[in-house]
Chains A and B, each alone.
Chain A
């Protein structure tokens, strides 16, 4: 997909130059950016990581340098690897079967948005098939997602690791980010693009984003006296 093709051949020393071109020109969005600049992506990820550490949610930041990355600026492509130790995210037909999911958040050059890669294993190390993964998609979304030709879960080679992963196609990211970004802008409220994006796509594929990520920003009196983790 476009993840490699747009980045290869890029020679400019100024990464800002490239990222500005990849986003729609200003004016067409009336000041509001629906995509995220690579620098902002990094910043958002760092904030997310800080919160993850506080919540012991298991996200980590990995800079991967490999032969695949060497053809373009390694700094532009970095990833978060979530290592859900004992993180049981869903069950298969046999309700006693425990599955282990691994989620990666990468930055898509083509779409200037985060993109979610994931894979799932049984505890014996058998990787799940696409069909089995579909059965773990939240029922709220499953039918629509399956009927949608572009916005679907596909098997893709991980751009950095070269291993088979599942990926949630990023082409509709702008569309579901637009309402919340608009709302936030109206209220002059800052939004962590990556975290907000994750809150939408995560549940689709079995990843729960704990509420505490959002309550840490604004502790409410009710929460302080009634500390129930989700």
Chain B
């Protein structure tokens, strides 16, 4: 699964993620889907904090896809489940487009997502 839909919005100290061209998708990925929204990732509890917290993510990217990206970035092992919360009040469905979440819950031009790793279902 490619990581190319995200790009950091802050200058990185370490080696940045290599950007490859996004492979074309079979379904109707619209121009709208390619537009990027700003996401701010905040760690909860003991979860490791990501060095880069601000990311530009394609609107059409799903929560699950972003979750997998964070899990790989944090090098979580197979038994650890990542949970993502919006607005400190609910967990978005894994199939939800981040673009829609941004429309509904974004503020100050960004979508804040809290993430937490857990042994629940691990």
Contact = CB atoms under 8 A, between A and B. Distances in A.
B121 A230 contact: no
Task: Give the most central of A178, A200, A208: most B CB within 10 Å.
Answer: A200
Task: Give the most central of B90, B92, B96: most A CB within 10 Å.
Answer: B90
B103 A179 contact: no
A196 B119 contact: no
B49 interface: no
B83 A200 contact: yes
Interface in B20-79: 44-45, 64, 67, 78-79
Contacts, number: 113
Contact of B103 (A139, A186, A189, A220): A220
Looking at chain A, what size class is its interface with the partner chain? 35 or more
Given A175-B119, A179-B45, A179-B114, A141 B85 contact: no
Contact of B91 (A192, A199, A228): A199
B122 A211 contact: no
Contacts of B67: 140
Contacts of B105: 214-215, 218, 220
A19 B115 CA distance: 31
B88 interface: yes
A196 B44 contact: no
B94 A230 contact: no
Summarize A's interface: helix, strand, loop or mixed.
helix
Interface of B: 44-45, 64, 67, 78-79, 81, 83, 85-96, 100-101, 103-107, 114, 116, 118-122
A220 B104 contact: yes
Interface of A: 138-141, 143-145, 147-148, 151, 172, 175-176, 178-180, 182-184, 186-187, 189, 191-192, 195-196, 199-200, 202-203, 208-209, 211, 213-215, 217-218, 220, 222-223, 226, 228, 230
B52 to A, nearest CB: 21
B104 A223 contact: yes
A122 to B, nearest CB: 23
Contacts of A182: 44-45
The 3 nearest A-B residue pairs measured at CB = A183-B88, A199-B90, A179-B116
Given A144-B121, A203-B94, A180 B104 contact: no
